[in-house]
Structure formats: structure tokens, C-alpha cells
Amino acid sequence: MSETLLVVDDEPRIRRIVEMALEDRGFDVITAASAEEAHDLMAKQAVDLVVADLQLPGRSGLELLADVRRERPEVPVILITAYGTVESAVEAIKAGAFDYVLKPFGMEELEALIVRALEERRAVVEAANLEEVVGPDARGIVAESPGMGRVLGLVRQVATQPTTVLVTGETGVGKEVVARALHHRSGRHDRPFVAVNCAAIPGELLEAELFGASRGAYTGSIKDRPGKVEVADGGTLFLDEIGDMPLSLQPKLLRALEEGTVERLGSNVTRKVDVRVIAATHQDLEALVEQGRFRRDLYYRINVFPVHIPPLRERREDIDHLVNLALDRFGSRLNVNARLGPGVMDRLRTYHWPGNVRELMNVVERAVILSDDGLVDQEHLELYPAGKGTVRGGADGVVPLSDAVASAERAAIQAALERTGDNKTQAARLLGISVRTLWYKLEKLDLR
């Protein structure tokens, strides 16, 4: 099912041009001529993203943005204006707009923004769903197991400090949930939490995304734009999959962390920022340092306070609690009494969970949807067979570590490709790696 976009502009010609172009790109589009009309439409229909003119009759686009942020905070808003200034751009973005486009604009530019905004929205909704499922007291952290108890203890210790934190763990363990818990418990909780996935943005665009760009810095740069570091001023910057950051960009990030300053691309003006950085990765950064793919000085700078999240298979005490809370959450959402049939919990407890908590949430949600009146039986579970793609040990039960690692990678990649219908981009996102890395591993593991 395609996403629904709401286009708000008082000029019928522009409204119709944008509507037709976005429909041609596969989106469902509804339109409004004013903030009031847009507000009424959103009360009646689910909307995934709003594109709104800043200058509207009656209430302005900024006032509409405030309404959306208050009533539908998961919905991104892109503002369009012919009267753009740096000040209004910063005001709009700090007020919660995803981005800001200056008329006249190209549809390719707008479409790229929309695609990126929807990707970030999916990630935010996923994190919020998990946080809501497992309860507000821990802000998304289930700590029935000793391993997660230690994680929660570390979060409580460091949350109120300005210290840089490095969160590590496999894909799907909940690294962003921990980052949001750190932000929520800090003195910055009423300031922005800005997340940037370093693996999801091409290297040549990541510098402008993080640090901003001045007008004319690159082809198509027709206005000054602040970067995510500036937007996060006073709050928390979450750098997800920092191991995928290009080596050429790492010195600039190191300088920003050490000096608390940034320079936009194409500018020599230094701007002071006060940002608490939380980084995350599923990769072994020490190995990347030894391979020359990650700067040693940056590694030491972000690894001030490491927090490692164990995989779900190593904290099975958490599974019952996660499953029961997920049943309550998704049952309530679907208006059914969600419950498990005979043997289902035992199967969930013994499953190897290559996708960790994220996979558990997806499995439970799908099972509840497929169930008859909320009763989840074993046939409703979509679980990757534990034996598929595994390696056998020798007579002493020991296998070479390289074989075991390759087998685990093969199993995880196959599961991701099956779950996404062989969509490489979506599979790479599930695995927490870049598409280029996925193609490399497909060749290496003979999974083409």
C-alpha cells in the first residue's frame, strides 16, 4: 500500500502540478488550499507526510506545522516558500519541519526529500512502537535478564552526564531505543533528538546532511541550509551506524566533537553548537580501526562510555515479557484479544532470533493479523529455520570461527532477503549495513 501525502498550497496551479507529479511517482495524494482545510482532512484521514507552503491564507504553514507536531508528531512536514531566508529555514527546522524547499524547486529535489523523510518516519515509528510496547518506565528497555539489567544500569548512570556514548550490538537489538532513553533521562529531554543514519545517506551527501551547506556549495544548492548538528543544538545527536561514515568525513566530525563548532559546506564561518552525541554501530569498530577504515582518534573520542546490548538469544529471560507486551499492544491496535495457543511461547523462547527484538515485534504483529480472533497458533508464526544455513562441527563439536561467522551472516542475509521479497535496499536497511556492503557479502558468500 502506497503512502498518503497531503499537499497544502493556496495556488491551485502549483497544488495540481505537485499532486500530479507525486501521483506519477506512486504516492496517494490529497490536497488542501489552507491550513484549516488541511487540519480538517487530517482529522478524517491518515496521512504519512505533509508538504505545505509557508505562506498560506489565514493560518501560516508554521502554525500548521505546530498543529501536526502536537497532534501527529510522527508525520514529517516539508515546508515550501518563495520567501526563504536562512532565519526562517532555521526557525522552521527547529520547530520540527523535516526540511525546507525554496520556490522554484525541481520535483526531483522534492521527491528525494519525501523519500528520505518517509524512511526516517518509518524508523521513528518503529522505535516509538517498541518503546510503547515495552512500557514507559524504562523508556523501551526491557530488563528482565541480567544482561539488560546491566544496560539499564549504565543508562541510569550516564544519562544526566554530557558524556559521549557508544551503543553497540547486533542489528535489531534496540540501539535507537537506548539512545532515546538516554536523551529522555537527560537534562536535554525538552530539546531536539536528531537521528542520522550514516549508512542510509550516500557519502557525498552526508557532509551536507550533518554540517549543512551554504548557497552555491554544490550544484542545485540555491539556499543556505543548516545541518543536523545545528538542528540538534541544545539537544542530542544520534549517529546511527557510525561505522559506515566515510573516512574522509571523519576528521570534520572529530573537530566538531572536540571544539563544539561546525562549518557548513562551502563556508568558512564557524558556528558554535552545544550537542550531546550518542553513536551506535553493529560493526566491530576496533577491527575497522586496524583495517584503516575508521580513525583511531575518532574511535577513542566516541568510545568514552560504551554500552553493549546483548542479542536476544543471550537474554531469553526477556522474551516472555516482550511477547506478552507485544500481544497487548498489537491486540489493542487491531481490537482483538491477542493470545497464544498451545506450544507457541515455547517455540518463541527457543527460536534463535537473528533479527533480535525488531524481528520479534514483526513476527508477533504479523501473527496477530493472521490469527482468527486474536488466537495465535504455530502456523501463524513466520520464523526462519534455525538449521537452515548452519554449519556442522567436527568430531569435537568445534567449527572454525570463520565458518561460524560466515554461516551466521549467510543466515541473516537470507532471512532479510526473504522478508523483503529480495529487495536489496530494504534488506540492507534491516541488516543495518549499506547496499554496497550487502552486494559485497552476496558475492563473498555466493548468495547472488
Alpha-carbon distance 214 to 217, whole Å? Answer: 6
User: Residue 134: its pLDDT value, please?
Assistant: 44
Looking at the structure, do residues 254 and 198 belong to the same domain, yes or no? yes
Looking at the structure, do residues 194 and 269 belong to the same domain, yes or no? yes
Looking at the structure, do residues 374 and 434 belong to the same domain, yes or no? yes
Q: Are 386 and 351 in contact (CB under 8 A)?
A: yes
> Is 41 among the domain residues?
yes
Full domain range(s) for residue 145: 135-310
Looking at the structure, do residues 306 and 184 belong to the same domain, yes or no? yes
Alpha-carbon distance 347 to 274, whole Å? Answer: 48
Predicted confidence (pLDDT) per residue in 46-78, tens digit = 899 999 998 889 898 889 998 998 888 888 999
Q: Which among 130, 50, 93, 67 has a CA at the least distance from the CA of 235?
A: 93
Looking at the structure, do residues 240 and 271 belong to the same domain, yes or no? yes
Alpha-carbon distance 210 to 208, whole Å? Answer: 6
Alpha-carbon distance 164 to 63, whole Å? Answer: 35
> What angle in degrees, to the nearest 10, is found between the helix axes of 61-71 and 35-44?
20
Looking at the structure, do residues 305 and 327 belong to the same domain, yes or no? no
Beta-strand pair 270-272/261-263: antiparallel
> Is 183 among the domain residues?
yes
Looking at the structure, do residues 398 and 320 belong to the same domain, yes or no? yes
Sheet of strand 276-281, all strands in order from the earlier edge strand to the far edge: 193-197, 236-240, 276-281, 165-168, 305-308
Task: Return the SS3 of 266.
Answer: coil
pTM as predicted: 0.62
User: Residue 405: its pLDDT value, please?
Assistant: 65
Predicted confidence (pLDDT) per residue in 298-309, tens digit = 999 999 999 999
- CATH number at 21 reads 3.40.50.2300
Contacts of residue 184, Cβ cutoff 8 Å, sequence gap at least 6: 139, 159
- CATH number at 347 reads 1.10.8.60
Cell of 402: 570463520
Looking at the structure, do residues 142 and 174 belong to the same domain, yes or no? yes
What secondary structure letter does DSSP report for 265?
B
Beta-strand pair 236-240/276-281: parallel
Looking at the structure, do residues 400 and 433 belong to the same domain, yes or no? yes
> Is 275 among the domain residues?
yes
The residues facing 271 across adjacent strands are 262
> Is 122 among the domain residues?
no
Domain limit, last residue, from 275, 310, 345: 310
Q: Are 88 and 81 in contact (CB under 8 A)?
A: yes
Looking at the structure, do residues 33 and 100 belong to the same domain, yes or no? yes
Q: Are 223 and 84 in contact (CB under 8 A)?
A: yes
Q: Which residue has the cell 544526566?
A: 160
- The Cα diameter of the chain in Å comes to 79
What is the identity of the amino acid at 385?
P
Alpha-carbon distance 113 to 412, whole Å? Answer: 30
* Distance separating the N- and C-terminal Cα atoms of the chain: 28
Alpha-carbon distance 158 to 165, whole Å? Answer: 8
Residue 77, CA atoms < 13 Å, CB-side half-sphere:
29
User: Residue 358: its pLDDT value, please?
Assistant: 87
CA dist 183 → 139, 153, 314 (Å): 10, 15, 26
Q: Which residue has the cell 554461516?
A: 407
User: Residue 224: its pLDDT value, please?
Assistant: 72
Looking at the structure, do residues 277 and 416 belong to the same domain, yes or no? no
Q: Which residue has the cell 493556496?
A: 10
| Sign of torsion over alpha carbons 54, 52, 62, 210 | negative
Mark the ranges of the chain whose per-residue pLDDT is less than 70. Answer: 1-2, 82-90, 122-140, 216-223, 384-406, 434-436, 440, 443-444, 446, 448
